[in-house]
Amino acid sequence: MPSFDPTRCLYACRHGESLGNIARADAEKRGLAEVVCAYRDADLPLTATGHAQAAWLGRRLAQLPPAQRPVRLICSPYRRALETADAIIRHAYANSRVAFSLDARLRPKAFGVLEGLTRRGVRERFPELAAERERVGRFHFRPPGGESRADVVQRVGDFLAQLRSRHGGEPVLLVTHQIVVNAVGHLLLDDEGDALATDDDGWVPNARLYAFGAAPVPAAQEVEAA
């Protein structure tokens, strides 16, 4: 693997466990067509477990040597990411300062007409879209009103290019979503282990920290599981 320089890197984490994660897992397990949840996707809060995971991650970051600790947090504007970032800041930077900003390009993938549906729901209500997804592959499939994985990769790529030009060389932490962590890996790694190159979901555990080295080819390193 390429060399990893922990003093010059990009960190990324998925938010802590949210009510949406619990609701979707329950709907899939019960074979429902829809995910039953009272919140809009952008407003989904963390569960008690999610808050504990985020606090743990903040304490983990606080243990890093000063040269390795992120000096800037850039966060998705979605509530579950914001709550995760808040816990990280409170536990990792209680006695110091860290720059913080939001960037909409770190939001999750938009599913359009398929929003809130389980795998069964997609097959039953939009069989033609399910067939199209199988035909073109999940990387290029774009549901009406939504995004493809390729669309997410493009916006994340734009974000990373801007990040390099503005904050090159300083450790930065992205507090974001599973698809964005996978997109960062897709853009910065070779094909080995590239989740978006397959049709699987590219599972990223909640509140797990990943680090992407700076040179010569960025390497992903899982820091520790929550």
Print the domain residue range for 63.
9-224
Does residue 213 lie within any of the structural domains?
yes
Does residue 33 lie within any of the structural domains?
yes
pLDDT digits (tens, 9 = 90+) for 101-149: 999 999 999 999 999 999 999 999 999 999 999 999 999 999 999 999 9
* 190: confidence class by pLDDT, cuts 50, 70, 90: low
Does residue 49 lie within any of the structural domains?
yes
Does residue 169 lie within any of the structural domains?
yes
Does residue 2 lie within any of the structural domains?
no
Q: Does the pLDDT value for residue 224 go beyond 80?
A: no
pLDDT (mean) for 186-205:
75
Predicted structure pTM score: 0.90
Number of independent structural domains in the chain: 1
Buried-exposed string 15-47: b where 16+ CB fall within 10 A, e elsewhere: bbbbbbbbbbeebeeeebeebebeeebeebebb
Does residue 192 lie within any of the structural domains?
yes
Q: Domain holding 60: CATH number?
A: 3.40.50.1240
pLDDT of residue 193: 55
Does residue 1 lie within any of the structural domains?
no
Does residue 4 lie within any of the structural domains?
no
